[in-house]
Structure 1
Amino acid sequence: MRLFWPALLMLATSCGLTEEGTQPVVSGRFGTKPVVTIPQGQPGRTPRITVLSLGSGRRTVPGDVVLADVDIRRWSGNRPYLSTYDGHQPASVVFDGRQVSETWRQSLIGRPAGSRVMLVSPAGEAMGPNVPLTGLSPADTLVLVFDILGGYPPDARLVGRTLPVVPADLTPAAPPRTLIDGSGREVAPGSKVVIQYVAASWPSRTVVDSSYRRGGPSAFTLREGAVPAAWIGALTGQRVGSRVAVPSQGEQPLIYVIDILDTITHA
């Protein structure tokens, strides 16, 4: 990660500093796709970070995998560029020193879960040194709105439990199986879940995907099109702290073993 920019960043409150008299206005509650109004005038060349609302959860710390929804749009014409709200899968931001920009670190680290933060920045600094700018020039200004779901250690797991293992007697045609009963909050229909998981092919039981290999916990919204269909019924109604084996039939039959680390429901 490059460290050239901290001295250039301005940290402002939601009603505080602006540059050249311009500040986008963001409406909508945390957890919903923000509505962004871009003012007239020039945005300036200095990255600006604005805390729009402060959450009450655990603060993210260096080394965390930060899970956040993010909406990115161009300043010019207020044109959408990318939004995780559309795909219903929050971003997993792994601060491993490679592709995460310093502006994202300033925006996301040290913030309580439940916070909404806005970053206004030239694209070259907002997207990081090694991220391709599809359809953008480095000087184009972007407006990014983050909803911080939480920060989790890369090796986060169920307390006192070993890593998940695929049961030897489970087949893709079997119903979901609860391997460990959790005692935390119940997973509501359509909510977001924070999980660690492994996915094994059938019949070899070879692990073909794993959140541990990807860098740490991931967040998903339990709705059609956002997760494998078998997950929705298998995880809804479970409690945080549960481990669930979820067979999934398809062109490539898989067996998932999923640890539920957290759940996030927005009123």
Structure 2
Amino acid sequence: MKTLILTTAALALSAGFALADTVRMGTEGAYPPYNFINDKGEVDGYERELGDELCKRAGLTCEWVTNDWDSIIPNLVSGNYDTIIAGMSITEERDQVIDFTQNYIPPADSAYAALTADADLKGVIAAQTGTIQADYVAESGATLAEFATLDDTLAAVKSGEADAVFADLDALAASVNESGGALVWAGEPVSLGGGVGMGLRESDKELRAKFDAVITEMKADGTINTLITKWFGPEAKTY
């Protein structure tokens, strides 16, 4: 679950979406299992499957666009795509610049992963730049080491550059579970954020309403819970 420091104000909030048939869905492509690039070079993951179903039910065509995390909001505002669907936590700070649908992932836990369970969580902690986890580490008394991607944070722990990584638990789980014991959980999980939602320009009220209606429908019929369990496992929080 991520948040972003808003370095660019509302560049072009008037660049609204006119509800054309094609919606450009902006994502990072580097935050599995939310979103990632598969072996075919295509956007994949929970948000790809969810986004395609949202567009199908709304009578729209999805066109997927990838963008680096640190500029994902400015490029939405300037009109390079129409939505952000990229593991983005809903925050008051961001809500001042862009708009949100309701969440499609409920508020979940963040966690530490390290080489040993007794890692120094007041030492050097790696976190992805511009995330709610980075903000938390900065206020925790630990030394924050920021990196561009989740993979970079994990590499820093494995190389000894950082004592632990702090990130969304669901995003870390696959790396911990598949590490063969090289990575383990450290400390206790921490509840952060207000859930993950789709970001849109504030001018695109009609598009937001369309997606909100479909998210409500998919929660009611159990589709979103099925997708969450598929991509995050049976222990993940559902609706």
> What TM-score, normalized by structure 1, do the two folds share?
0.26
Q: Which has the higher helix share?
A: 2
Q: Which has the higher strand share?
A: 1
- Bigger Cα Rg: 1
> What TM-score, normalized by structure 2, do the two folds share?
0.28
Q: Which has the higher contact order (CA 8 A, sep 6+)?
A: 2
